[in-house]
Chains A and B, each alone.
Chain A
Amino acid sequence: MASIQLDGVTKRFGPVVAVRGLSLQVREGELLTLLGPSGCGKTTTLRLLAGFLTPEEGRIFFGELDVTRLAPEHRNVGIVFQNYALFPHMTVAQNVAFGLEVRGLPGREIRSRVREILERVQLRGLEQRYPHQLSGGQQQRVALARALVINPEVLLLDEPLANLDAKLREEMRFYIRHLQQEFRITTIYVTHDQAEAMALADRIALLRDGVLQQVARPEEIYRRPQSKWVADFVGVCNFIPGRVLGQEDGFLVVQTPVGLLRCSGTAGPGRVLVCVRPESLRPQAEGPNRIAGVVRSRTFLGNLLDVRVFCPGEVVLRVQCPLTWDAQPGESLHLAFRAQDAWVVSEEG
């Protein structure tokens, strides 16, 4: 089991810079998610880690070993591809055994290891089937088994659940997490689905246009985003523009079109954005941050109500709250939030 370290890694494709100066550390046994919109460089990063690409600048370490220029077959990585990449001309057992055969292990040992791992992923009895005879979920587990049986230093997963339907995706999510923890493998998991990232990861690394935006635990990223982009990408967020006036009782005082607000965070004087999540806004008359407004629209989301409130200064706030609230369009009301639920970021980015 090795830790992973990327030091100032840059990868170019002609004039396009896919990954720029990426520095990242993954601890032993940790599951780190690479999250970002398409084209942000997460797949490129994964392929750099796998050895299918060589960076122009920077270095990559697995533990103490500098693998930057090491060929893929010498890195001892386990990879699960988005389309599983199961060998169509081999059975399940042969697929899983492949990595072991290449390492020259004796036949008997190969057979027992294959049997054991297939048992672990609950595919016993399907050894002689061919990939095209399996369901999506089963193929997924074969891909996992094949990658894990070789006891890799590092496990890389490239959007492994993208081709499954929603229900199966949720099941498999927990399953993969469970396996990863059981094997205690340092894992990097690429996805564009933020719900997935938050559910699975020990830490999330957000990428945008090849540049690392923030690396932190999911809760940290959600509650304390470091930039507007991060706040906007992960979950839904309201942004209220304003100007920091000063500090009071450990909170910032910000002058905004909807009034004087008290929030958390550190920011220099100047223009900022106050970030408030929809679920932090409550309809109540009392509180340190009170905003007056008129209900614009109301949408029934099943377990929640999504209400848009039109406030002074052309600020539209989105509120999500339980169904007990009875807001009707056109109704005037007050919204309030706690200072610790709001966070300040600078206006650009």
Chain B
Amino acid sequence: MSTTVRRLGFLGVTVAIYGFLLAPIVIVVVAAFNAGEYLRFPPEGISLRWFAKFFASEPFVRSFWFSLKLAWLCTVVSTVLGGTAAFYVVRHAGRLRDVLRLLLVAPLQLPAILTGIALLLFFYSVGLGTRGMGGLLIGHTVVSVPYVFLIVSTVLLRFDRSLEEAARSLGASAWATFWRVTLPLIRGGVISGALFAFITSFDQFPISLLLVSVGNTTLPIQLFDYLRFSFDPTAAAASTVSVVMSVMVVWLIHRLVGLEQVTWGGPR
């Protein structure tokens, strides 16, 4: 087999697999704009009726805002928890470092559904129940903190400590050094971590499945319930809204911070 044929074959396979990866998502978005009830070839025409139905559906809209609010809160809490933990583990932990890393990353190693189950049992055992947003927020935070921790740790490990030493030698206190030198330079990493936390919460399923209560569903759960029993493209519209949400967050970060910064290394 000649080199060109082999290379083309490899290219073809790779493209096909990428197609496999992206096809369902593209299909969903296309279905959302489809005029007909089922996706057909040739397509029946473009329409926004499913979006109209989505925005008119009270459960969907309510779950959308709820997810948004929940994700926002979760992001703030996870970033603080994960960020402080990263600072401690990278700079102060000494011999405990490996143990702490293990603990802080553990929620990622164990299946989310198991964590959801454990939390459900726990909340009822201590009498808290799952009313209100509290339980969900805690559940989402538990699985988001590891992402923030990992990303901020990486950035901190690559950080040039001599910059902080220079600042201190010039008279800046520890706090002033952090605020004026360290934080601006790790900002990209912190925002990356926050972004991960947001997406993790917004798209979270297993934990939400077990911890939602009546009147407080997230968008993924609402969508899931809907899909158990109907097949109509309102679900596609809901999904598209979800996709757009994710894309917008990424875009927003790009405008604020620049995507070059949103790597695992921060500006350099």
Contact = CB atoms under 8 A, between A and B. Distances in A.
- Chains A and B directly touch (beta carbon < 8 Å): yes
Interface of A: 50-52, 71-79, 81, 83, 85-89, 98-99, 102-103, 146-147, 150
Contacts of A83: 160, 162
B165 A52 contact: yes
Interface in B162-188: 162-163, 165-173, 176, 180-181, 184-185
A85 B172 contact: no
A102 B173 CA distance: 9
A159 B170 CA distance: 19
A99 B268 CA distance: 23
A73 B172 contact: yes
B161 to A, nearest CB: 9
A84 B176 CA distance: 20
Given A98-B167, A147-B170, 13 more contacts: A52-B168, A71-B168, A72-B169, A73-B171, A78-B169, A79-B165, A79-B169, A81-B165, A83-B160, A83-B162, A88-B163, A102-B171, A147-B169
Contact of A102 (B163, B165, B176, B184): B176
Which range contains the number of B residues in contact with the other chain? 10 to 19
Contacts of B163: 85, 87-88
A38 to B, nearest CB: 18
Given A72-B169, A146-B170, A150-B170, A88 B162 contact: no
B171 A99 contact: yes
Contact of A103 (B162, B168, B171, B267): B171
B160 A150 contact: no
A296 to B, nearest CB: 48
Contacts of B268: 88
In the A-B complex, list the 9 residue pairs whose CB atoms are closest, starting with the nearest.
A99-B170, A85-B166, A85-B162, A72-B168, A102-B171, A79-B169, A102-B172, A73-B168, A89-B184
Nearest to A77: B169
B173 A73 contact: yes
B176 A89 contact: no
Nearest to B168: A72
Nearest to B171: A102
B136 to A, nearest CB: 38
- Most chain A C-beta atoms within 10 Å of own C-beta, residue among B163, B167, B169, B185: B169
Contacts of A51: 168-169
Contacts of B169: 50-51, 72-73, 75, 77-79, 147
B179 to A, nearest CB: 11
Contacts of B267: 88-89
B95 to A, nearest CB: 12
B215 to A, nearest CB: 47
B267 to A, nearest CB: 7
B54 to A, nearest CB: 43
Contacts of B185: 88-89
